[in-house]
């Protein structure tokens, strides 16, 4: 009899466990099944309309009806960013019992990376390819022309819109440029209005005696700034650059103060493009001090 009672207790216990499992499964595919997807843009969306947002929510990577616990957020992110080149998924939020919110931003055209005379990659600051074009017009408020990358892009012949440019070298430095520019409180549209072109090149560093990459940056007055040791304090160097531009180019009386004080030169005698006889050199010494000088060409 004792054995029979133990057997009955075991059956009851197993039945309870099985019942709980069945209830959980039913809840998982009813109450916790994905029914709603909301799209939330963190910045002002210029390209993505309400219809576009609906299209994103109905993307094939988002499988309605599956358990909210099995939603593969990584796959959704990868598929959406591939299908919509201008989309950046920031994070995907789970809202119980049956909803997810895709928090995203619209990527901004930051650079026009020259790959050849007939190929330009329109990229955001992370070098995600948003568009590919055969021509580019270097005009104010267009993406900043980026030169000097032709020989280090490794996927130039196979990259498509929605994918990232890959580099054989300097990748970390290149991706730090956009972040550093934003730290100067210059939005992407402001950057495009000020910077005409950026070129990555290299030279022997005066302090380390090593061949080091540096940036040549020109504004729309063609005033040239060279920034050295770009792997360190880059945001601060950009800040110095913009501050100097406002003095050298847009406030020439300050730039010419010494010449005016030490000679008979008057403001009327100064040509409008006098600053083009100089290059602004911004570098950093071994004590991490930023040094600037105007160097006559």
Tell me which DSSP letter residue 169 carries.
S
User: Does 260 lie in the same domain as 219?
Assistant: yes
The most confident of the ranges 31-35, 213-217, 256-260, 282-286 is 213-217
User: Does 174 lie in the same domain as 277?
Assistant: yes
User: Does 189 lie in the same domain as 175?
Assistant: yes
Asked if residue 251 belongs to a domain, the reply is yes
Query: Position of tokens 């950046």?
Result: 88
Asked if residue 173 belongs to a domain, the reply is yes
Asked if residue 16 belongs to a domain, the reply is no
Query: How confident is the model at residue 27, as a pLDDT?
Result: 42
Asked if residue 1 belongs to a domain, the reply is no
User: Does 191 lie in the same domain as 57?
Assistant: no
User: Does 180 lie in the same domain as 97?
Assistant: no
User: Does 223 lie in the same domain as 257?
Assistant: yes
User: Does 230 lie in the same domain as 83?
Assistant: no
Quick check: 272 pLDDT over 80?
no
User: Does 188 lie in the same domain as 53?
Assistant: no
Contacts 24+ apart (CB under 8 A), 73-78: 76/102
User: Does 180 lie in the same domain as 91?
Assistant: no
Last residue of a domain, one of 81, 106, 131: 106
- What is the residue range of 85's domain? 36-106
More confident residue, 127 or 4: 127
Asked if residue 73 belongs to a domain, the reply is yes
Q: Could you read off the pLDDT of 24-81 as tens digits, one per residue?
A: 444 445 567 899 999 999 888 888 988 888 999 999 899 988 888 889 999 999 999 9
The CATH number that applies at residue 45 is 3.10.20.310
Asked if residue 124 belongs to a domain, the reply is yes
CB atoms within 10 A of CB 228: 20
Query: How confident is the model at residue 11, as a pLDDT?
Result: 56
Q: Could you read off the pLDDT of 192-238 as tens digits, one per residue?
A: 999 999 999 998 887 778 889 999 999 999 999 999 999 999 999 99
C-beta separation of 150 from 114 below 8 A: yes
Asked if residue 17 belongs to a domain, the reply is no
User: Does 288 lie in the same domain as 229?
Assistant: yes
Query: Which positions ≥6 away from 1 have C-beta within 8 Å?
Result: none
Q: Could you read off the pLDDT of 66-125 as tens digits, one per residue?
A: 888 889 999 999 999 999 999 999 999 999 899 999 999 999 999 999 999 999 999 999
How far CA 37 is from CA of 30, 33, 99, 224, in Å, comes to 16, 12, 6, 49
d(CA 220, CA 187): 17
d(CA 226, CA 146): 14
Number of domains in the chain: 2
User: Does 197 lie in the same domain as 220?
Assistant: yes
Following CA atoms 140, 144, 150, 154 in sequence, which dihedral angle do they give, to the nearest 10 degrees? -140
Query: How confident is the model at residue 17, as a pLDDT?
Result: 55
Last residue of a domain, one of 44, 74, 106: 106
Asked if residue 214 belongs to a domain, the reply is yes
Average confidence (pLDDT) over 247-267: 72
Last residue of a domain, one of 86, 106, 126: 106
End-to-end C-alpha distance for the chain, whole angstroms: 106
User: Does 165 lie in the same domain as 127?
Assistant: yes
Nearest CA to 215 among 258, 180, 263?
Answer: 180
Nearest CA to 162 among 105, 115, 107, 104?
Answer: 107
């Amino acid at each position: 009899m004792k054995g029979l009672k133990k057997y009955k207790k075991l059956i009851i216990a197993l039945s309870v466990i099985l019942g709980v499992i069945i209830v959980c499964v039913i809840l998982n595919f009813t109450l916790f099944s994905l029914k709603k997807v909301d799209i939330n843009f963190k910045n002002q969306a210029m390209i993505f309309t309400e219809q576009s947002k609906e299209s994103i929510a109905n993307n094939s990577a988002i499988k309605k009806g599956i358990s909210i616990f099995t939603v593969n957020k990584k796959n959704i992110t990868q598929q959406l960013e591939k299908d919509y080149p201008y989309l950046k998924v920031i994070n995907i939020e789970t809202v119980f019992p049956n909803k997810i919110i895709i928090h995203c931003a619209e990527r901004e055209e930051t650079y026009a990376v020259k790959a050849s005379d007939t190929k330009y990659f329109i990229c955001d600051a992370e070098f995600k390819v948003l568009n590919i074009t055969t021509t580019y017009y270097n005009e104010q408020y267009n993406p900043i022309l980026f030169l000097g990358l032709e020989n280090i892009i490794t996927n130039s012949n196979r990259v498509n819109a929605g994918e990232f440019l890959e580099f054989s070298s300097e990748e970390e430095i290149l991706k730090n440029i956009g972040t550093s520019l934003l730290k100067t409180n210059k939005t992407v549209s402001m950057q495009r209005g000020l910077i005409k072109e950026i070129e990555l090149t290299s030279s022997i560093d005066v302090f380390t005696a090593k061949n080091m990459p540096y940036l040549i940056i020109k504004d729309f007055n063609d005033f040239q700034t060279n920034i050295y040791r770009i792997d360190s304090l880059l945001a601060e160097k950009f800040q110095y650059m913009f501050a100097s531009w406002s003095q050298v180019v847009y406030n020439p009386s300050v730039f010419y103060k010494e010449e005016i004080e030490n000679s008979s030169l008057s403001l009327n005698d100064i040509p409008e493009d006098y600053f083009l006889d100089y290059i602004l050199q911004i570098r950093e010494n071994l004590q991490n001090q930023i040094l600037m000088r105007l160097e006559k060409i």
